[in-house]
């Protein structure tokens, strides 16, 4: 009974995250392509987690897709904040670092995998906070913290990569539901924050032209 309740709540949290992320992706697509892609991948991975595959290979692919979505979503949101603030060099470094980690994740040791994931999560968060705090965009700061939280909480040093991606502590229980809820809040807050930030940047450009 407890197992079925846990499975039901986990599925509901994934459904809520998937709907929120996909709706946010659709809203952002016109003016913010990079975060739109990141949230779209996050929504797809959450939708995939609703399924209950019987094959161990499919379970591994499911966990890897979930990790990739949680990795790219905050990085691409921070990329857009940096790009709109004209810090193109930092935006490119963050984007290249994210893609590099995705490509090398299967070649890294367990400790290196955990450290690099945490470092990228901290980099995404610090870039987002730096821009949002200077711009006075509280929603952006909230969204950055909420989207980066799974990367900072889930990784565990000292396990092999496969075990890390399939860790019960990272995939079941109250902490998992809290992290899914945080991601949903992050999607909503980031969508609102990016819209506001774009308006602020546009207004500043209009003022400078006048």
Higher pLDDT, 101 or 5: 101
Angle subtended at Cα 147 by Cα 121 and Cα 31, rounded to the nearest 5 degrees: 110
pTM: 0.87
Tokens encoding 77: 């949101």
Q: Hey, is 160 helix, strand or coil?
A: coil
Instruction: Indicate whether 158 pLDDT > 50.
Output: no
Structure tokens at 164: 């890390």
| Rg from Cα positions in the chain | 17
Residue 196 has pLDDT above 70, yes or no: yes
Q: Which of 48, 78, 80, 73 is nearest to 63 (CA)?
A: 48
Q: Which of 50-59, 93-102, 151-160 has the highest mean pLDDT?
A: 93-102
| SS3 of residue 88 by DSSP | helix
pLDDT above 50: residue 198: yes
Q: Which of 105, 106, 201, 185 is nearest to 150 (CA)?
A: 185
Residues 121-132 pLDDT 10s: 999 999 999 999
Query: What is the structure's pLDDT at 154?
Result: 60
Q: Which residues contact 6 (CB under 8 A, 6 or more apart)?
A: 172, 173
CA–CA distance, 65 with 163 (Å, rounded to integer): 15
Report the first-to-last Cα separation within the chain, whole angstroms. Answer: 67
Confidence of residue 210 (pLDDT cuts 50, 70, 90): low
Q: Residue 125's Cα: distance from chain center in Å?
A: 10
Q: Coil, strand, or helix at residue 186?
A: helix
Q: Which residues contact 164 (CB under 8 A, 6 or more apart)?
A: 110, 113, 114, 155, 156, 170
């Amino acid at each position: 009974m407890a197992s079925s309740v846990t499975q039901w709540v986990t599925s509901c949290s994934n459904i809520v995250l998937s709907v929120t992320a996909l709706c946010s992706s659709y809203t952002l697509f016109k003016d913010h392509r990079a975060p739109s892609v990141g949230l779209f991948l996050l929504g797809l991975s959450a939708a995939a987690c609703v399924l209950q595959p019987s094959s161990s290979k499919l379970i591994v692919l499911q966990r890897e897709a979930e990790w990739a979505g949680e990795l790219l979503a905050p990085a691409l949101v921070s990329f857009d904040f940096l790009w709109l603030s004209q810090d193109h060099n930092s935006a490119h470094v963050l984007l290249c670092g994210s893609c590099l980690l995705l490509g090398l994740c299967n070649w890294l040791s367990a400790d290196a995998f955990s450290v690099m994931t945490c470092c990228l999560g901290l980099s995404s968060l610090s870039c987002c906070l730096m821009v949002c705090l200077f711009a006075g965009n509280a929603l952006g700061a909230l969204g950055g913290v909420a989207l980066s939280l799974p990367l900072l909480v889930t990784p565990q040093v000292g396990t092999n990569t496969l075990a890390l991606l399939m860790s019960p502590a990272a995939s079941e229980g109250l902490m998992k539901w809290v992290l899914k809820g945080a991601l949903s809040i992050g999607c909503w807050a980031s969508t609102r924050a990016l819209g506001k930030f774009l308006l602020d940047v546009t207004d500043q450009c209009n003022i400078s032209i006048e």
